[in-house]
Amino acid sequence: MINPNDKNLPKVDVEDPAASEHVKVSRRLFLGGSAALMGAAGTMGAGMGGMLTPSVAHASTGSANVGPGELDEYYGFWSGGHSGEVRILGLPSMRELMRIPVFNVDSATGWGLTNESKEVLGEGHYLNGDCHHPHMSMTDGHYDGKYVFINDKANTRVARIRCDIMKTDKITTIPNCQAIHGLRVQKVPHTKYVFANAEFRIPHPNNGLNMDDVKGYYTLFNGLDAESMDVAWQVIVDGNLDNTDADYTGKYAFSTCYNSEGAVDLAGTMRAERDHLVVFNIALIEAAVKAGKFIKLPGSDVPVLDGRKGSKLTRYIPVPKNPHGINTAPGGKYAVANGKLSPTVTVFELAKFDDLFADKIKPRDTVVAEVELGLGPLHTAFDGKGNAFTTLFIDSQVCKWNVEKAIQAYKGEQVDYILQKLDVHYQPGHNHTTMGETRDADGKYLISLQKFSKDRFLQCGPLHPENDQLIDISGDQMKLIHDGPTYAEPHDCMIVHRSKVKTRKIYDRKDPTFAGTVAMAKADGVTLETDNKVIRDGNKVRVYMTSIAPVYGINEFKVKLGDEVTVIVTNLDQIEDVTHGFCMVNHGAQMEISPQQTASITFTADKLGVQWYYCNWFCHALHMEMRGRMLVEPA
């Protein structure tokens, strides 16, 4: 039997700047060495041991082709829509690189099953989610590679993903409201706040006694502290809230509203010719909180401010008609609201917001253009060269237009502000350009996310995938270069140059994601890195084991029928990519344990006799043999 704690097993110092080279060397040592140790023929083969450093795709545009072994230039963070997860794609290849479970339950990683993930999800968590808007934290208007935030419309939550390990580390349920939809981050000076729109108006208190008083319903704009993920404040608004964005000074956030009518039926939401953009003054909101000028709603301790019409904290700018997306241009000079039921986009000059709050100008004086693009404008992206790209849902097109020319045209000059319309397939919602929501917009690629794929792919039954199309925008003309099917309506995505993202190769043993488990082990007198121990605590049994390819530190353990069993596995492997799993057969228990990670899972030993457990992440030539027995005796 191999001893997982054998000092002769290869080790890597992960903090060593040359670690990646060590990792490669160790991988060869490891595969050769362990094969020799086991006396077994065959290893996972030259594919792994002989892996070469992949070359980097050169920065040419015009093709989605990234050759085998070549790396993509961009990370795309894709909302998984009502799958409840976030996905990472490589661009321009559009290859799916990873899935990050967030609001869903994930069989492969044990997200929603492990104790560590349940701590993030909360007790009695929901099994569904509906993600729309993934956005990365920023410093001075540049992506800082720290976090990605994502909304859950289905259960009124906001989650944070840590970009060093690409795992969800915090989930906050927003009190006093229903359906978090629009989400963006404060761009400048850094992401202190995550801005989150609650969409649906509800009675307050929502106690079943005042449901007919529709006029009294309201919803809230939320500022979350990006570090603690606590809701810092909430602002009551008129109408409902759809999408949101922030400016490049750190002073303002703004949200579209499609239901200024306050209607509860479809026809009612279309009655008015104009709804509005609500502008939030962050400094005034902070000052009001500090001065104690807030109320608390029964559901929480969060300071709630009144930002309805007439409030000093907000301004309402009329915008036609049921506007949807609101997008700040990379220079920070303009923001664009997308008219949806109006064929127009509305361009705001953000510098005028100071005068608006000083009551020197009227709300509509901040509008510098309102021009027609086509039917069903939903979202706009930018190339950093003064051009904008707006999705036209009904026309199934992307419209490329020039912002300054649109402003001239709005003044009455004879200029063509529309530069090109490109058919997309079919019915686009969000779009996004490479680095386009930051100061670093580079104008290389545009992604257009279509709600319908119809005939673009082999048919897979009545349910169709969506179609995410990659468009080369580096030249004068947009060129469609790739069709990418995706599952369950991503809504939105975000494209980040790979230089902004630095991920860990293996876990730090001090990683906070399993700090609670480390504390539990300590209380049990167990050192996770060395001990293989079974602790009995009444009818609770805690099984601490290590793993190193291809063995668990514990080969068999005994429990009594009905015991609550917690298995805690610490993966001692220090070799990148050697992830183990733990699956207890017939117990609904399965999880990932990546190198140097600790993970734990709790289940009831409700079946007598021999119960096998096995490693379910392929880790070694002897992966099939990596297993053990739980022996369940009568109580």
CB of 155: closest distance to ligand K7E in angstroms?
A: 15
Cβ-based nearer residue to ligand K7E, 132 or 321: 132
Q: Write the CB contacts of 26 (distance below 8 Å, at least 6 apart in sequence).
A: 10, 11, 12, 574, 575
Residues near 405 by Cβ (< 8 Å), separated by ≥ 6? 415, 416, 417
Query: Which residue in 118, 167, 251, 580 binds ligand CUA (CB under 6 A)?
Result: 580
Q: Which is nearer to ligand CUA, 438 or 594 (CB)?
A: 594
User: For ligand CUA, which stretch binds (CB under 6 A), given 31-39, 46-54, 434-442, 615-623?
Assistant: 615-623
Give the CA distances from residue 464 to residues 60, 453, 478, 483, 485, in Å, rounded to whole numbers and listed in that order: 32, 7, 26, 14, 9
Task: Return the range that interacts with ligand CUA (CB under 6 A); candidates 151-159, 221-229, 465-473, 618-626.
Answer: 618-626
Q: Please answer whether residues 89 and 117 qualify as being in contact, where contact means their C-beta atoms are separated by less than 8 angstroms.
A: no
State which of residues 368, 626, 630, 632 lies at the interface with ligand CUA (CB under 6 A): 626
Task: For strands 556-560 and 627-633, give the pairing.
Answer: parallel
We find the least distance from the C-beta atom of residue 326 to ligand K7E, in angstroms, to be: 10
User: Pick from 157, 321, 324, 623: which binds ligand CUA (CB under 6 A)?
Assistant: 623
Binding to ligand K7E (CB under 6 A): which residues in 150-209?
A: 181
Does residue number 432 form part of the binding site for ligand K7E (CB under 6 A)?
Answer: no
Task: Restricting to residues 47-86, name those near ligand K7E by CB under 6 A.
Answer: none
For residue 280, give every residue at least 6 positions away whose Cβ sits within 8 Å of its Cβ, in sequence order, or none: 195, 221, 235, 252, 253, 254, 255, 307, 313, 314
Q: Does 275 engage in binding with Ca ion (CB under 5 A)?
A: yes
Minimum CB–partner distance for residue 464 and ligand K7E (Å): 16
Binding site partner of 580, from ligand CUA, ligand K7E, Ca ion, none, Cβ cut-off 5-8 A by kind: ligand CUA
Q: Residues 570-588, buried b or exposed e (16+ Cβ, 10 A)? A: bbbbbbbebbbbbbbeebe
Return the one option of ligand CUA, Ca ion, ligand K7E, none that residue 626 interacts with (CB less than 5 to 8 A, by type). ligand CUA
Q: Are strands 428-433 and 418-423 parallel, antiparallel or unpaired?
A: unpaired
316 binds ligand CUA (CB under 6 A): no
CA distances, 476 to each of 60, 91, 92, 268, 402 (Å): 16, 21, 19, 42, 12
Question: Using the rule CB under 6 A, is 550 a contact of ligand CUA?
Answer: yes
Verify binding: residue 549, ligand CUA, rule CB under 6 A: yes
Q: Looking at 55-165, which runs of residues are DSSP E strands? A: 74-79, 85-91, 95-101, 135-139, 142-152, 157-162
- Using CB under 6 A as the binding rule, whether residue 27 contacts ligand CUA is answered as no
Phi then psi for residue 22, to 5 deg, are -55, -45
Selected binder of ligand K7E within 99, 187, 444, 491 (CB under 6 A): 491
Closest distance of CB 429 from ligand K7E, Å: 3
Tokens (6 digits) for 181: 């939809």
Neighbours of 110 (CB within 10 A): 26
**Closest separation in Å from C-beta 489 to ligand K7E:** 7
Residues 6+ apart with CB under 8 A from 43: 31, 32, 34, 35, 49, 620, 621
User: Based on CB atoms, which residue is closest to ligand K7E, 31 or 198?
Assistant: 198
| Residues 6 or more apart whose Cβ sits within 8 Å of residue 492 | 79, 132, 133, 134, 379, 429, 430, 432, 449
**Contact (CB, 8 A) for 118 and 125:** yes
Per partner kind, with CB cut-offs from 5 to 8 A, the member of Ca ion, ligand K7E, ligand CUA, none near residue 549 is ligand CUA
- Which one of 238, 492, 563, 573 is in contact with ligand K7E (CB under 6 A)? 492
Query: Given the complex with Ca ion, which of 259 and 598 has the nearer CB atom?
Result: 259
- Among 62-70, 224-232, 329-337, 617-625, the segment contacting ligand CUA (CB under 6 A): 617-625
**Judged by CB under 6 A, how many residues of this single chain contact ligand K7E?**
12
Distance separating alpha carbons of residues 444 and 389, to the nearest angstrom: 13
Q: Is 437 in the site for ligand K7E (CB under 6 A)?
A: no
Decide: helix, strand or coil at residue 616: coil
Considering Cα of 232, then 238, then 239, then 245, what sign does the dihedral take?
Answer: negative
Is 617 near ligand CUA (CB under 6 A)? yes
Residue placing its CB nearer to ligand CUA in the complex, 94 or 619: 619
Q: Locate tokens 């289905």: which residue?
A: 154
- Written as one string, the DSSP assignment of 497-553 is EGGG----SS--TT-GGGHHHHHHHHHTT--TTT--EEEEETTEEEEEEEEETTEES
The first and second tokens of residue 438, run together, are 């930051």
What is the closest distance, in whole angstroms, from the C-beta atom of residue 184 to Ca ion in the complex? 22
Sites for Ca ion among residues 427-486 (CB under 5 A): none
Which residue type, as a one-letter code, is found at position 69?
Answer: G
Least distance to ligand K7E, CB of residue 245, Å: 11
Q: Rounded to an integer, what distance in angstroms lies between the CA atom of residue 177 and that of residue 179? A: 7
How far apart, in whole angstroms, are the C-alpha atoms of residue 307 and residue 402? 34
Q: Nearest distance from residue 621's CB to ligand CUA, in Å?
A: 10
Contact pick of 243, 322, 574, 594 for ligand K7E (by CB under 6 A): 243
Q: How far are the Cα atoms of 101, 189, 438, 568 from residue 251, in angstroms, in the given order?
A: 33, 10, 16, 47
Q: Exactly one of 114, 322, 390, 571 binds Ca ion (CB under 5 A); which one?
A: 322
Q: Given the complex with Ca ion, which of 239 and 443 has the nearer CB atom? A: 239
**Nearest C-alpha neighbor of 114 from the set 546, 582, 507:** 582
Contacts of 435 (CB under 8 A, 6+ apart): 143, 384, 441, 442, 495, 496, 497
CB atoms within 10 A of CB 338: 27
The 360-399 site mask, x for binding ligand K7E (CB under 6 A), equals ------------------xx--------------------
444 binds ligand K7E, rule: CB under 6 A: no
Q: Which does 275 bind (CB under 5 to 8 A by kind): Ca ion, ligand K7E, ligand CUA, none?
A: Ca ion
Residue list 112-151, contact with ligand K7E (CB under 6 A): 132-133
The reply on whether position 615 binds ligand CUA by CB under 6 A is yes
468 makes contact with ligand K7E (CB under 6 A):
no
Restricted to residues 319-338, the positions that interact with ligand K7E (CB under 6 A) are 324-325
Which CB sits closer to ligand CUA, 30 or 74? Answer: 30
Which spans of this chain sit near ligand CUA (rule: CB under 6 A)?
A: 549-550, 580, 615, 617-619, 623, 626
Which spans of this chain sit near ligand K7E (rule: CB under 6 A)?
A: 132-133, 181, 243, 324-325, 378-379, 429-430, 491-492
